[in-house]
Amino acid sequence: MTPKQISVIGVPLDYGADRRGVDMGPSAIRYAGLHDKLRQAGHTVNDLGNIAVPVPESRQSANPQAKYLDEIVKVNRVLARTIEKLAGEGQFPLVLGGDHSIAMGTIAGLLRVWSKIGLLWFDAHGDFNTEKTSPSGNVHGMPVAVACGRDQTDLAVPFKGHYVDEAKIVYVGVRTLDPAEAEALRQSSVTVFSMHEVDRYGMREVMARAMDILTQGTDGVHLSFDIDALDPLYAPGSGTPFNGGLTDREAHLALELLAEGDVLTSMEMVEVNPILDEHNRTGRLAANLIASALGHRII
Q: How many residues does the chain have?
A: 299
Which domains does the chain possess? 5-293 (3.40.800.10)
Catalytic-role residue among 23, 131, 151, 228: 228
Q: What is the pLDDT of residue 297?
A: 85
Using a 10 angstrom Cβ sphere, with 0-12 exposed, 13-18 middle and 19 or more buried, the burial of residue 127 is: buried
Is 165 a residue of the active site?
A: no
Q: What is the pLDDT of residue 161?
A: 94
Q: Which residues of 213-228 are buried (b: 16+ CB within 10 A; e: fewer)?
A: bbeeebebbbbbbbbb
Q: What is the pLDDT of residue 35?
A: 98
Q: What is the pLDDT of residue 125?
A: 98
Determine the Cα–Cα distance for residues 7 and 171; give it in Å rounded to an integer.
Answer: 25
Pick out the chain residues at pLDDT < 70. 60, 62
Closest CA to 159 of 94, 217, 110: 110
Q: Distances from the Cα of 273 to the Cαs of 26, 69, 74, 266, in angstroms?
A: 10, 21, 22, 22
Catalytic-role residue among 131, 181, 271, 277: 271
Q: What is the pLDDT of residue 237?
A: 97
Express each pLDDT in 40-58 by its tens digit: 999 999 999 999 998 877 7
Is 271 a residue of the active site?
A: yes
Catalytic-role residue among 71, 99, 100, 277: 100
Kind of pairing between the strands at 264-270 and 220-226: parallel
Q: SS3 letters for 22-79?
A: HHHHHHHHHHCCHHHHHHHCCCEEEEEEECCCCCHHHCCCCCCCCCCHHHHHHHHHHH
In the chain, the amino acid numbered 244 is G
Determine the Cα–Cα distance for residues 11 and 52; give it in Å rounded to an integer.
Answer: 8
- Calculate the dihedral angle through the C-alpha atoms of 234, 224, 207, 283, rounding to the nearest 10 degrees: -20
Is 228 a residue of the active site?
A: yes
Q: Is the dihedral of CA 36, 40, 41, 43 positive or negative?
A: positive
Is 100 a residue of the active site?
A: yes
Catalytic-role residue among 99, 226, 231, 256: 226
- Asked whether 75 and 51 are in contact (CB, 8 A), the reply is yes
Phi-psi label, residue 218: left if phi above 0, alpha if psi -120 to 50, beta otherwise: beta
Q: What is the DSSP letter of 265?
A: E
